[in-house]
Amino acid sequence: MTQKLQADCELCNSTGGEVLCESAQFRVVLIDDANYPGFCRLIWREHQAEVTDLHELDRMLMMDVLWQIETVVRAVMQPKKINLASLGNMVPHLHWHIIPRYADDAHFPAPVWAESQRVTPTTILAERRALLPALRTAMVNRLQSYC
């Protein structure tokens, strides 16, 4: 399979985070975000801008993996809500953000890219970061048949 990559695309040229699962079609990464422990990203390997640029089976695969990631993040991180976002305005490379959200997080109920509403206590953030080893293990186990 020849991979379609773009020289000036940061997601074509870097992993985009700590790789938890990598296949021929995609990778799942954990984002190092101090305010949002458990923030993951699903990145399509080829440089495509939109889900509809993919063949039907690839679209189905991407959506299935997305739901698997959400399931793991919800089970381990126990958020109030999960935000799923596929924007691509700044980086037009097909990827999804999977973000655990809490009523006490810095931006809730606004998107994580909005202006902060509050500062989450460091003790709470530390408790959430302490869940990351379990998240890594659970994600690898859940996605092993894909990667």
Please report the pLDDT score of residue 132 as a whole number: 98
16: domain range? Answer: 10-142
Please report the pLDDT score of residue 3 as a whole number: 62
Whether residue 4 lies inside any domain: the answer is: no
pLDDT exceeds 80 at position 5: no
What's the number of domains the chain is made of?
1
Whether residue 1 lies inside any domain: the answer is: no
Instruction: Out of 8-12, 67-71, 127-131, 134-138, pick the least confident.
Output: 8-12
Single pTM value for the model: 0.93
The mean of the pLDDT values for the chain is 94
| CATH number for the domain that contains residue 27 | 3.30.428.10
* Distances in whole angstroms, Cα of residue 28 to Cα of each of 105, 136, 142: 23, 11, 12
Whether residue 2 lies inside any domain: the answer is: no
pLDDT in tens, 65-115: 999 999 999 999 999 999 999 987 878 889 999 999 999 999 999 999 999
Q: What is the mean pLDDT of residues 54-60?
A: 97
Whether residue 72 lies inside any domain: the answer is: yes
Please report the pLDDT score of residue 90 as a whole number: 78
Report the Cα 79 to chain-centroid distance in Å.
15
The tokens for 140 are: 């690898």
Q: What is the mean pLDDT of residues 34-40?
A: 97
Whether residue 80 lies inside any domain: the answer is: yes
Whether residue 147 lies inside any domain: the answer is: no
Return the residue matching tokens 């890219």: 113
pLDDT exceeds 90 at position 146: yes
Please report the pLDDT score of residue 1 as a whole number: 45
Fill in the amino acid letter for 82: I
Whether residue 78 lies inside any domain: the answer is: yes
- What DSSP element (H or E) covers 57? helix 56-77
Q: 1, 24 in Cβ contact below 8 A? A: yes
Report the Cα 75 to chain-centroid distance in Å.
15
Other beta carbons within 10 Å of 122: 10
Whether residue 88 lies inside any domain: the answer is: yes
